[in-house]
Amino acid sequence: MPRPRALNQGFGRVLIVIYAIFAIAATARSAVQLSTQFSQAPVAYLLSAIAAVIYIVATIALARGEGVSRMVATIAVAIELAGVLIVGTLSLILPSVFPHASVWSGFGSGYGFIPLILPIVGLWWLYRSRP
Amino acid sequence: MTGLFANALISAGLVVAVWSAVQLIANRPIGRSLRVAMWVLELMVLTFAIGGVVQMIMTDHDFAKLEFVGYLLGMCLIPIGALWWTRSDASRAGTAVLLIIGLVTSILVLRVQQVWLGPSA
**Average pLDDT of B84-92?**
88
Measured from the Cβ of residue B93, the count of other Cβ atoms closer than 10 Å reads 21
pLDDT of residue B104: 94
Measured from the Cβ of residue B86, the count of other Cβ atoms closer than 10 Å reads 24
Say how far residue B104 (Cα) sits from the centre of its chain.
Answer: 7
- Is the Cβ of B29 closer than 8 Å to some Cβ of chain A? no
pLDDT at A4 > cutoff 70: no
Degrees, nearest 5: CA angle B12-A55-B41: 15
Left, alpha or beta for A67 (phi > 0: left; psi -120 to 50: alpha)?
left
Q: Compute the distance between CA of residue A129 and CA of residue A118 in angstroms, rounded to an integer.
A: 16
pLDDT of residue A2: 52
Hey, are the CB atoms on A25 and B74 less than 8 Å from each other? yes
- What's this model's pTM, rounded to 2 decimal places? 0.87
Q: Provide residues of A within 8 Å CB-CB of chain B.
A: 9-14, 16-18, 20-21, 24-25, 28-29, 31-32, 35-36
Hey, are the CB atoms on B91 and A20 less than 8 Å from each other? no
For residue B1, the one-letter residue type is: M
Chain B, residues 63-102, CB within 8 A of chain A, namely 64, 66-67, 70-71, 73-74, 77-78, 81-82, 85-86, 89, 91, 93-94, 96-97, 100-101
pLDDT at B73 > cutoff 70: yes
Q: Compute the distance between CA of residue A37 and CA of residue A3 in angstroms, rounded to an integer.
A: 49
pLDDT of residue A31: 84
Note whether B38 and B16 are within 8 A (CB): yes
User: How high is the ipTM of this complex?
Assistant: 0.83
**Average pLDDT of A3-16?**
84
pLDDT at A3 > cutoff 60: no
> Per-residue pLDDT tens for B100-119?
999 999 999 999 999 898 87
> Per-residue pLDDT tens for A85-126?
998 998 889 887 776 677 888 898 888 899 999 999 999 999
Average pLDDT in chain A: 88
For residue A14, which residues of chain B lie inside 8 Å, CB to CB?
93, 96-97, 100
End-to-end CA distance of chain B: 14
